């Protein structure tokens, strides 16, 4: 028996009270353990992304990326509100679809871009833009996006990029083409907030947006040229994707064979160590440039 202020309690009663007080804390700890582990490995994940971006062996990258994507989705099961993981997943699905699937299996690439967009869209909602870019009227979407701050730039960028590439592979779907203006609304806000994000990626988007269509259908070759030029300035001509997309979209639309050939040749002759942090995307650009230049006689 124990006494407190003259009152006597059985010892086992005190033990029960102590356990009752600790039980909620133990349950809370158990429920959050997975989240704690995920967040504790964040720096390792950051380094893994850097290492993948520096990879020059495309076969090794192609084999490794799917497992990394499933790891990311598993981590998101434990921590679904983790915006950083959502953005890594969106970027990963985009890169895998563009670099390794799109030219071989368009239907599968569509599905991968869709998954890319689903992750990016969730990150966009977590960034304060809760409207659905695919379903919202343009004026409402513009108002919502106008309120987004700089912290929303990655989610805006990847939402527009993933949805834009999905639309590009669904050009036979009029509803999909109509959604292209929604992606432009998102990407214009990126330009306003941080035009340098992802090596000037928003300028690349608009280079394709204006250069990949005839002026009769909303294209504007001069604006496309300006955006490609600005992207080159931002990344100091170290991102080979600029020349690749210029040749594939703007030069082909203009029927400018000299520009097409010159841009692709520049990619193929570029040094492997042009920029170590861009090694993977530059290797993908070289591979695609080699495929494009073989079709030059068919297009001009």
pLDDT surpassing 80 at residue 37: no
Q: Which of 221, 292, 232, 230 is nearest to 257 (CA)?
A: 292
Asked, for residue 184, whether it belongs to a domain, the answer is yes
Instruction: Give the rounded distance of the alpha carbon of 272 from its chain centre.
Output: 24
d(CA 80, CA 126): 11
Residue 199 within a domain: yes
CB 263 within 8 A of CB 247: yes
The residue out of 191, 208, 238 marking a domain boundary is 191
Give 55-91 pLDDT, tens digit per residue.
999 999 999 999 999 999 999 998 999 999 999 999 9
- For the question of whether the overall pTM of this predicted structure is more than 0.75, the answer is yes
Give the E-state strand segments of 155-275 in sequence order.
Answer: none
Nearest to 201 by CA among 212, 186, 215: 186
Task: Examine the domain organization and report whether 127 and 224 are in the same domain.
Answer: no
Residue 177 has a pLDDT of 62
| Residue 180, in any domain of the structure | yes
Give how far Cα 162 sits from Cα of 47, 139, 148, 170, 187, Å: 23, 22, 19, 13, 12
CATH number at residue 280: 1.25.40.920
Q: Please give the torsion angle defined by the CA atoms of residues 143, 145, 151 and 155, in that order, rounded to the nearest 10 degrees.
A: 160
| 182 and 217 housed in the same domain | no
Residue 91 inside a domain? The answer is yes
User: What is the chain's mean pLDDT, rounded?
Assistant: 88
Answer yes or no: is pLDDT of 4 > 50: no
Distance, in Å, from the CA atom of 197 to the CA atom of 191, rounded to the nearest integer, reads 9
Residue pair 120/159 in contact by the 8 Å Cβ criterion: yes
d(CA 278, CA 266): 16
Consecutive H or E run containing 2: strand 2-4
Domains identified in the chain, total number: 2
80-94, 162-176, 193-207: which has the minimum mean pLDDT? 162-176
Amino acid 210: pLDDT: 96
Q: By residue range, what is the domain housing residue 299?
A: 195-300
Res. 30 pLDDT band, cuts 50 70 90: very low
Residue 134 dihedral angles phi and psi, to the nearest 5°: -80, -25
| Structure tokens belonging to residue 282 | 């530059």
In a domain, 111, yes or no: yes
Other CB atoms within a 10 A radius of the CB of residue 208 amount to 20
Query: Quick count: other Cβ atoms within 10 Å of Cβ 297?
Result: 8
Query: What are the CA-CA distances from residue 117 to residues 17, 61, 95, 148, 284 (Å)?
Result: 50, 22, 12, 18, 21
What pLDDT sits at residue 24? 47
In a domain, 5, yes or no: no
Name the residue with higher pLDDT: 61 or 30. Answer: 61
Q: What is the pLDDT of residues 256-294, one digit of tens each?
A: 999 999 999 999 999 998 999 999 999 999 999 999 999
Tokens 């070759």 belong to residue: 221
Sign of the torsion angle spanned by Cα atoms 64, 67, 70, 76? negative
CA distance 58 to 64: 10
> Is the pLDDT confidence value at 129 over 60?
yes
Question: Residue range 117-135: average pLDDT?
Answer: 93
């Amino acid at each position: 028996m124990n006494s407190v202020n003259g009152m006597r309690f059985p010892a086992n009663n005190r033990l029960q009270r102590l356990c009752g007080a600790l039980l909620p804390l133990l349950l809370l700890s158990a429920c959050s353990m997975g989240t704690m582990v995920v967040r504790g490995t964040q720096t390792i994940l950051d380094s893994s992304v850097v290492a993948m971006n520096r990879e020059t062996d495309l076969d090794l990258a192609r084999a490794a990326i799917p497992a990394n994507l499933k790891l990311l989705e598993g981590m998101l099961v434990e921590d679904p509100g983790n915006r950083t993981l959502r953005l890594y997943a969106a970027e990963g699905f985009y890169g895998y679809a563009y670099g390794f699937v799109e030219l071989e299996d368009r239907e599968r690439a569509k599905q991968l871009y869709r998954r890319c967009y689903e992750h990016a869209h969730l990150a966009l909602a977590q960034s304060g833009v809760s409207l659905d870019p695919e379903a919202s009227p343009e004026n409402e979407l513009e108002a919502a996006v106008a309120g987004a701050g700089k912290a929303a730039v990655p989610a805006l960028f990847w939402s527009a990029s993933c949805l834009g590439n999905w639309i590009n592979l669904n050009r036979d779907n009029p509803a999909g083409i109509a959604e292209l203006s929604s992606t432009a609304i998102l990407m214009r806000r990126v330009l306003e907030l941080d035009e340098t994000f992802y090596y000037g990626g928003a300028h690349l988007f608009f280079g394709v947006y204006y250069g990949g269509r005839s002026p009769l259908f909303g294209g504007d070759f001069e604006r496309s040229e300006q955006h490609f030029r600005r992207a080159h300035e931002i990344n100091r001509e170290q991102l080979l994707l600029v020349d690749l997309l210029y040749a594939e979209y703007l030069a082909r639309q203009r029927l400018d064979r000299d520009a097409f050939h010159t841009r692709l040749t520049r990619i193929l002759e570029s040094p492997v160590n042009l920029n170590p942090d861009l090694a993977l995307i530059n290797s993908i650009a070289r591979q695609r440039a080699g495929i494009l230049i073989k079709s030059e006689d068919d297009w001009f």
